């Protein structure tokens, strides 16, 4: 039951983009087309899960035992950047087609604050390893869901007659706010 609550909470109730406001840059930047949103969502699921797994292990087996928890943020940033680079190198060698499919999304994930935020939240919420991985996957799915929904809205907005002063980012921000309000309807779910 705990895992179900973690999953529903991370995807719908405490959506990392719409509730916590982490990952706004890729949310606004990659959401112009559904294809790119789906690609970015897939890449985020993979990298976020791997990042939380590695950062949890580093926190519990290196930082905490040696009493250097104050290095958490810088360590996590370096680990996430290194992981993204390693994944990119491995994919280039092992699966060039998957590397081509992910394309620009892997370097974008390096600067996605949602990845760092979920890694830190996993530690702050005192999750065990499995709970942390489930939390990471659920947050990545929530990020992907919000991104795909928002990209669908933005594609639809491109077909509408939007006033000149509201075209582009202004109407996108208003739409994101309305989408966040819609997700607030899930607040009493868990």
Burial class of 52 by CB neighbour count within 10 A (0 to 12, 13 to 18, 19+): buried
Share of the chain above pLDDT 90, in %: 55
Return the pLDDT at 85. Answer: 86
Whether 57 is covered by a domain: the verdict is yes
Question: Above 80 in pLDDT, residue 134?
Answer: yes
Return the pLDDT at 79. Answer: 92
Return the pLDDT at 14. Answer: 92
Average pLDDT, the chain: 89
Measured between its terminal Cα atoms, the distance across the chain in Å is 11
Whether 17 is covered by a domain: the verdict is no
Whether 130 is covered by a domain: the verdict is yes
Burial class of 155 by CB neighbour count within 10 A (0 to 12, 13 to 18, 19+): middle
Return the pLDDT at 23. Answer: 85
Q: How many domains does the chain have?
A: 1
Whether 8 is covered by a domain: the verdict is no
Tokens of residue 179, six digits: 């989408």
Whether 86 is covered by a domain: the verdict is yes
Whether 13 is covered by a domain: the verdict is no
Return the pLDDT at 162. Answer: 87
Question: Above 80 in pLDDT, residue 105?
Answer: no
Return the pLDDT at 36. Answer: 80
Residue span of the structural domain in which 120 resides: 22-185
Phi and psi of 163, rounded to 5°?
-55, 145
Whether 12 is covered by a domain: the verdict is no
- Long-range contacts made by residues 32-38, C-beta under 8 angstroms, separation at least 24? 32/151, 32/154, 32/155, 33/151, 33/155, 34/148, 34/151, 34/152, 34/155, 36/151, 37/144, 37/147, 37/148, 37/150, 37/151, 38/144, 38/148
Whether 7 is covered by a domain: the verdict is no
pLDDT in tens, 52-61: 999 999 999 9
């Amino acid at each position: 039951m705990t895992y179900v609550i973690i999953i529903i909470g991370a995807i719908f109730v405490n959506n990392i983009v719409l509730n916590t406001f982490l990952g706004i840059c890729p949310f606004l930047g990659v959401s112009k087309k559904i294809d790119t949103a789906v690609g970015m969502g897939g890449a985020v699921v993979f990298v976020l899960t791997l990042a939380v797994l590695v950062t949890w292990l580093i926190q519990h087996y290196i930082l905490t035992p040696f009493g250097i928890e104050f290095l958490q943020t810088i360590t996590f940033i370096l680990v996430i950047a290194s992981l993204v680079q390693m994944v990119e190198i491995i994919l280039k060698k092992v699966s060039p087609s998957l590397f081509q499919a992910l394309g620009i999304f892997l370097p974008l994930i390096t600067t996605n604050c949602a990845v760092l935020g979920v890694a830190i939240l996993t530690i702050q919420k005192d999750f065990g390893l499995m709970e942390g991985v489930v939390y990471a996957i659920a947050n990545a799915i929530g990020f992907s869901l919000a991104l795909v929904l928002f990209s669908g809205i933005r594609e639809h907005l491109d077909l509408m007659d939007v006033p000149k002063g509201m075209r582009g980012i202004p109407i996108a921000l208003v739409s994101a706010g309305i989408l966040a309000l819609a997700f607030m309807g899930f607040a009493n779910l868990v």
